[in-house]
Amino acid sequence: MKENLDLRVAGKNDIPLIRALAKICFYDAYRKILSAEQLDYMYDMMYSENSLNSQISEGHHFVLAYKDEECAGYVSYQFEQGNSAHLHKLYILPAFQGCGIGRVMIEYVFAKVKEYYHGDSCYVELNVNRQNHAYHFYKKLGMEEVASGDFPIGGGYYMCDYIMRKDL
């Protein structure tokens, strides 16, 4: 499946596409874990046009994956202080899951982080819901659980996450 895979840096003009992908991927990833109300709240909070514009303006890098010219998913990450980066989002459309696209995308992020920090010691962190099966995907890629917590996100909702890290 990795053949004919093209990663393209996204910009503000891609916000409608990111929102459309998230409407499928985000709900698919969490519909068995979170209530419909929390899903709607989080989608509006993280994927409104204003929110995505702000994220890009604040330095979130979005990358779209295309398989045979069909958009299959997206990733976003941000460089932080202390030779680190945070992987904010990694979602693959259900029809493309299990085909290696997620691995290619996260390895792309790892390479960009190493390049950004000029090969110095650095790391990538992410938050993953404690009930999300993606936890096992990240473990296979060498990420380790370093903390966990219940993080308030407003509206009376919490993100109940593991924080995972990979030293590069």
Q: pLDDT tens digit string along 50-71? A: 999 999 999 999 999 999 999 9
Instruction: Give the type of residue at 116.
Output: Y
Structure tokens of 133?
Answer: 């099966």
Residues whose CB is less than 8 angstroms from the CB of residue 19 and which lie 6 or more positions away in sequence, other chains included: 47, 49, 52
Region 5-23: mean pLDDT is 97
pLDDT surpassing 70 at residue 18: yes
In order of their start, the domains of the chain are 5-120 (3.40.630.30)
Structure tokens of 153?
Answer: 């996100």
From the list 58, 93, 97, 94, the residue with the least C-alpha distance to 76 is 58
Residue 4 has what pLDDT? 84
Could you report the per-residue pLDDT of 61-105, keeping only the tens digit for each? Answer: 999 999 999 999 999 999 999 999 999 999 999 999 999 999 999
**Given pLDDT bands bounded at 50, 70 and 90, which one contains residue 122?**
very high
Q: Residue 58 and residue 49: Cα distance in Å, rounded?
A: 14
Residues whose CB is less than 8 angstroms from the CB of residue 149 and which lie 6 or more positions away in sequence, other chains included: 160, 161, 163
Q: Residue 13 and residue 114: Cα distance in Å, rounded?
A: 27
